Amino acid sequence: MSELKNLPHVALGVYPTPLYKLENISAKYGRNIWVKRDDLCGVALGGNKVRKLEYLLAEAKAEGCDTVFTTGGAQSNHAMLTAACAARLGMKCILILKKRGVTEHLGNLILDDIYGADVRFMDTDSYGDIYDEMDRIDTELAKEGHKCFHIPVGGSTPLGAVGYTNCVREIAEQLHGAEVGHIVSATGSGGTTAGLLLGARMYLPHAKVTGMGVDTDPFEDIVPDLAAGAAELLGTPLDRVPGDFRMVYHVGQGYAIPNPEDTPYIEELARLEGILLDPVYTGKAWSGMLKLLQNGDFDGDGDIVFVHTGGAAALFAMELA
Ligand SMILES: Cc1ncc(COP(=O)(O)O)c(C=O)c1O
Tens of pLDDT, residues 118-139: 999 999 999 999 999 999 999 9
Give yes or no for residue 61 having a pLDDT over 70: yes
Is the CB of residue 57 less than 8 Å from the CB of residue 40? no
CB of residue 283 inside a 6 A radius of ligand 1: no
| Residue-averaged pLDDT of the chain | 97
CB of residue 71 inside a 6 A radius of ligand 1: no
Give yes or no for residue 5 having a pLDDT over 80: no
The protein residue whose alpha carbon is closest to atom 16 in ligand 1 is 77
Is the CB of residue 13 less than 8 Å from the CB of residue 41? yes
Task: Looking at the CA of residue 281, tell me the nearest atom of ligand 1.
Answer: 3
pLDDT (tens digit, 9 = 90+) per residue, 170-216? 999 999 889 999 999 999 999 999 999 999 999 999 999 999 999 99
Task: Looking at the CA of residue 161, tell me the nearest atom of ligand 1.
Answer: 10
**For this structure, is 76 an active site residue?**
yes
Domain ranges of the chain: 2-48+156-316, 49-154
Structure confidence at residue 3 (pLDDT): 44
CB of residue 155 inside a 6 A radius of ligand 1: no
Backbone region of residue 13 per phi and psi (left: phi > 0; alpha: psi in -120 to 50; beta: other values): beta
The reply to whether 2-48+156-316 and 49-154 are identical in fold is yes
- Give the span between the Cα atoms of 308 and 282, in whole angstroms: 7
pLDDT (tens digit, 9 = 90+) per residue, 84-105? 999 999 999 999 999 999 999 9
- Give the span between the Cα atoms of 100 and 188, in whole angstroms: 16
The protein residue whose alpha carbon is closest to atom 1 in ligand 1 is 311
Tell me the average pLDDT across 57-84.
98
Ordered strands of the 148-150 beta sheet: 118-122, 92-98, 67-72, 148-150
CB of residue 281 inside a 6 A radius of ligand 1: yes
Task: Return the percentage of the chain with pLDDT > 70, whole number.
Answer: 98
Is the CB of residue 45 less than 8 Å from the CB of residue 73? no
Give yes or no for residue 2 having a pLDDT over 80: no
Query: In three state form, how does the secondary structure of the chain look?
Result: CHHHHCCCCCCCCCCCCCEEECHHHHHHHCCCEEEEEHHHCCCCCCECHHHHHHHHHHHHHHCCCCEEEEEECCCCHHHHHHHHHHHHCCCEEEEEEECCCCCCCCCHHHHHHHCCCEEEEECCCCHHHHHHHHHHHHHHHHHCCCCEEECCHHHCCHHHHHHHHHHHHHHHHHCCCCCEEEEEEEECCCHHHHHHHHHHHHHCCCCEEEEEECCCCCHHHHHHHHHHHHHHHHCCCCCCCCCCEEEEECCCCCCCCCCHHHHHHHHHHHHHHCCCCCCCCHHHHHHHHHHHHHCCCCCCCCEEEEEECECHHHHHCCCCC
Ordered strands of the 245-249 beta sheet: 19-21, 33-37, 303-308, 180-187, 208-213, 245-249
The protein residue whose alpha carbon is closest to atom 3 in ligand 1 is 309
Structure confidence at residue 176 (pLDDT): 83
CB of residue 288 inside a 6 A radius of ligand 1: no
Report residue 4's pLDDT band, with 50, 70 and 90 as the boundaries.
low
pLDDT (tens digit, 9 = 90+) per residue, 286-302? 999 999 999 999 999 99
The protein residue whose alpha carbon is closest to atom 6 in ligand 1 is 188
CB of residue 154 inside a 6 A radius of ligand 1: yes
Task: Looking at the CA of residue 164, tell me the nearest atom of ligand 1.
Answer: 10
Is the CB of residue 235 less than 8 Å from the CB of residue 293? no
* Centre of ligand 1 from the C-alpha of residue 185, in Å: 9
Residue 56 CB-density burial (10 A; 0-12 exposed, 13-18 middle, 19+ buried): buried
Structure confidence at residue 317 (pLDDT): 98
Name 30's Cβ contacts closer than 8 Å, sequence gap at least 6: none
CB of residue 189 inside a 6 A radius of ligand 1: yes
* Centre of ligand 1 from the C-alpha of residue 9, in Å: 21
* Centre of ligand 1 from the C-alpha of residue 265, in Å: 19
Nearest to 150 by CA among 122, 123, 127, 126: 127
CB of residue 70 inside a 6 A radius of ligand 1: no
Report residue 1's pLDDT band, with 50, 70 and 90 as the boundaries.
very low
| Domain 2-48+156-316 is found in CATH 3.40.50.1100 | yes
Give yes or no for residue 222 having a pLDDT over 90: yes
* Centre of ligand 1 from the C-alpha of residue 144, in Å: 34
pLDDT (tens digit, 9 = 90+) per residue, 233-251? 999 999 999 999 999 999 9
* Centre of ligand 1 from the C-alpha of residue 140, in Å: 31
CB of residue 224 inside a 6 A radius of ligand 1: no
Tell me the average pLDDT across 214-228.
98
CATH number of 49-154: 3.40.50.1100
Tell me the average pLDDT across 65-93.
98
Nearest to 285 by CA among 249, 321, 243: 249
